[in-house]
């Protein structure tokens, strides 16, 4: 996971990941989006490869790069442990209580909002 964090720290590598988000690209196509030299891109791609965030497939003289979404999970989970204030918990709690309330109402045959309806 250390490699993933390091890989993500560089802005060029982050842009590469964004480029690969929904399409597959060759090294050359990726390089076209940047001003820096192709060897520089090549090394960024190696870092991404070794971190596991990206996989490559050799096709003739080209190399097709694509995301490997599996390796994002570890870092996401690590970060999430600090993010207890994020609304997930609250949304979950809200949904949970709503479901329970609905079940209770079904059981007792009462209407959804007890106070506004008697029979």
Partner DNA sequence: CGGAAGCGTAACCGGTGGGTTACATATTCT
Partner DNA sequence: AGAATATGTAACCCACCGGTTACGCTTCCG
* Site of tokens 């965030």: 53
Of 60-68, 72-80, 88-96, 108-116, the window that binds DNA (rule: CB under 7 A) is 60-68
Quote the CA–CA distance of 53 and 59 in Å, as a whole number.
Answer: 20
Quote the CA–CA distance of 72 and 4 in Å, as a whole number.
Answer: 8
Nearer of residues 8 and 27 to its own copies, judged by Cβ: 8
**By CB under 7 A, residue 116 contacts DNA:** no
Nearer of residues 42 and 102 to its own copies, judged by Cβ: 102
Radius of gyration for the chain, computed over Cα atoms and rounded to the nearest angstrom: 24
Nearer of residues 43 and 100 to its own copies, judged by Cβ: 100
CA–CA–CA angle 83, 88, 93 (5° rounding): 125
Binding residue for its own copies, selected from 39, 58, 113, 118, defined by CB under 8 A: 113
Count CB atoms within 10 A of the CB of residue 44.
Answer: 21
Which residues bind to its own copies, rule: CB under 8 A? Answer: 2, 5-6, 8-9, 11, 14, 17, 21, 53, 67, 69-70, 72-73, 75-76, 78-86, 91-92, 95-96, 98-100, 102-103, 105-107, 111-113
């Amino acid at each position: 996971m250390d490699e993933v964090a390091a890989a993500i720290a560089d802005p060029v590598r982050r842009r590469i990941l964004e480029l690969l988000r929904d399409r597959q690209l060759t090294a050359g196509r990726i390089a076209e989006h940047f001003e820096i030299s192709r060897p520089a891109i090549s090394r960024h791609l190696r870092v991404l490869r070794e971190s596991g965030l990206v996989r490559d497939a050799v096709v003739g003289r080209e190399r097709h790069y694509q995301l490997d979404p599996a390796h994002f999970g570890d870092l996401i989970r690590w970060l999430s442990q600090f993010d207890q204030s994020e609304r997930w918990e609250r949304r979950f709690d809200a949904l949970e209580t709503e479901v329970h309330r609905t079940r209770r109402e079904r059981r007792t045959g009462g209407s959804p909002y007890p106070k506004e309806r008697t029979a």
